[in-house]
Structure 1
C-alpha cells in the first residue's frame, strides 16, 4: 500500500467514526460517463460500461455504511434524445447487468430487493422482460433496496400521479379529503417501497439535481452533495464525504 493510500484510509476511517447520522435513502445521479470516456480517448460505450461496473461496488459500500435504500438515476426521459446508437447501447447494457444481478449470489445472501421506476411505456419489450425477471426474483427480499430510475422524469412522475388521483376522485373511489402526502406517495409508487430521500449525490461536479425524485427529495429537504469525479472514478472516500454532508446537515 502506498503512503497516499494509507493516509487516505486513515482519513476515511476518521470520517466514518465522526458520523452520527446515516441516511436511510441515498439517490445518486450517475453523471460523467461520456466525459470520462472522452478524456480516455474512448467511445461513449466505454464510459457507460465503466460506469456500470462501479454501481454494484457502490452498493457494497452502502451496505457497509448502513444505507438501506439506494436509487440510481440510470436513464432519464431526456436521454432518449441522444443518438439511436447510444440509446441502444445503454438499453442493452441494462439488460446485461440485470441478467448478472439475477445470478449474483450477493443479491440473495444480503436479501436485496431490486426495482425499477420510470415510464415503462417508453422501454422496449426485451428490457421490460428483464426488469420483470429481476423484480420477481427479488420481490421477497427486504433487507436492502436497489432502485433504478430508467426512462425517468420527475415532473412527468408527478403529472401522471396527479392524473391517476383525479381519475380515482371522478370515479368516486377516493374522497378529496383523503388526499394526503402519503396518499400521493402510495399512488406514485404502488408496488415499490420508496421512503423519502435523505441525500442526493451527483458526480462530475455538475451542480444541479436534474428533476430527480422531486416529490421524495425536495419535499424532504434532502441534503445534496456535488462530487468532482465522474461516475466511473467515484471512490469510497467520495461516498463517505457525501455521507458527512448529510451528517452535518442533521447536526444543524
Structure 2
C-alpha cells in the first residue's frame, strides 16, 4: 500500500510532490557545498556562509527524520580542508563546538543519535571534547543517525580499513582468504550502516570530492545549483522524488 505526502505551495511553486513512504531512502549523504560562495555573493565573510549552512543542517535533519530516513551523513570537513586559511579552519573548529553545545539537547530530545566518521583524533582538544560529549549524550537514542564527516577522506578511509585488516591477518585472527567486500565494509568508519542510497551535492559542482568512495558504488546522485545555505526541505523532497522514480538495477537486467 502506498502512502503519500502532499504539500501545498505558494503561487510561485504550485507543483505537488508525492513521496512514497514505503520506498524512502534509508541513507542519504550530502556534500554541504557552496557556503563560502554564498557569503561572497552577499559581500559577507566566508564564515557567515558556514554559519548559515549550520542552520540548514537543522532543517534538513528535521525533515529527513519526519520522512523516515534512518541515516543522514553530512560532509563537513575533509582531510584536504586543513589546507584552507588558518583563520577559516579555526572558525570551523569553533563552529563544531557551537553546534554541539547549542543543538545537543535538541538532538537528544528528538531522539537523534549523533555520530562522526573520519579521523577525529586530529581535531583540537576542545572540539574533540564537544563531539565526545554529544556522542555520549545521544548514544542510546534510536531515531535518525546524524553522521558528521570530520577530517574525512574516502581514500584515507580505505587505507584505514586496509591497515586494520592487515593487522588482523598478521595476528592470525583471519586468513587472507577471508578478505572480501563484506570484511572491508565492516572495517570502514561506516561499519554497521547501509551504504547511501542517495548522495546529494548542491552548489553546481558534480564530483564526489573524495567522499564515501567505497560506499557510493551503487548510490544514486542528485545535483543542484542551489548553494547549501539556501537548500530547503523542498529541495530535499525533490531529490527524494527523483530517486524514487529511478530504475535501480545494481548491475542486473530488469525482468
Question: Same-fold call, TM > 0.5?
Answer: yes
Once residues 40 and 9 of structure 2 are traced to their aligned partners in structure 1, the CA distance between those partners, rounded to angstroms, is 27
Show the 5 A alignment for 1:203-242: 203-218=202-217, 221-242=218-239
**SS of aligned partner of 2:17:** helix
- Whether the 8 Å CA contact 2:31–2:201 is kept in 1: the answer is yes
Please name the residue that 2:10 is paired with: 5
Distance 1:17 1:129, change over 3 A: closer
- Whether the 8 Å CA contact 1:101–1:134 is kept in 2: the answer is no
Name stretches of at least 5 consecutive residues in structure 1 with no aligned partner: none
Q: CA deviation at 1:187?
A: 1.5
- Whether the 8 Å CA contact 2:19–2:241 is kept in 1: the answer is no
Q: CA deviation at 1:160?
A: 1.2
- Whether the 8 Å CA contact 2:71–2:147 is kept in 1: the answer is yes
Once residues 67 and 114 of structure 1 are traced to their aligned partners in structure 2, the CA distance between those partners, rounded to angstroms, is 14
Name stretches of at least 5 consecutive residues in structure 2 with no aligned partner: 1-7, 250-255
Please name the residue that 1:195 is paired with: 194
Please name the residue that 1:140 is paired with: 140
- Whether the 8 Å CA contact 1:25–1:195 is kept in 2: the answer is yes
- Whether the 8 Å CA contact 1:30–1:73 is kept in 2: the answer is yes
Pairing 1:47–2:49 present: yes
Once residues 185 and 228 of structure 1 are traced to their aligned partners in structure 2, the CA distance between those partners, rounded to angstroms, is 32
TM-score by length of 2: 0.89
Show the 5 A alignment for 1:136-175: 136-175=136-175
Number of residues of Structure 1 aligned to a counterpart in Structure 2: 242
- Whether the 8 Å CA contact 1:223–1:245 is kept in 2: the answer is no
Once residues 161 and 46 of structure 1 are traced to their aligned partners in structure 2, the CA distance between those partners, rounded to angstroms, is 36
TM-score by length of 1: 0.90
- Whether the 8 Å CA contact 1:19–1:244 is kept in 2: the answer is no
Once residues 116 and 131 of structure 1 are traced to their aligned partners in structure 2, the CA distance between those partners, rounded to angstroms, is 8
Q: CA deviation at 1:179?
A: 2.2
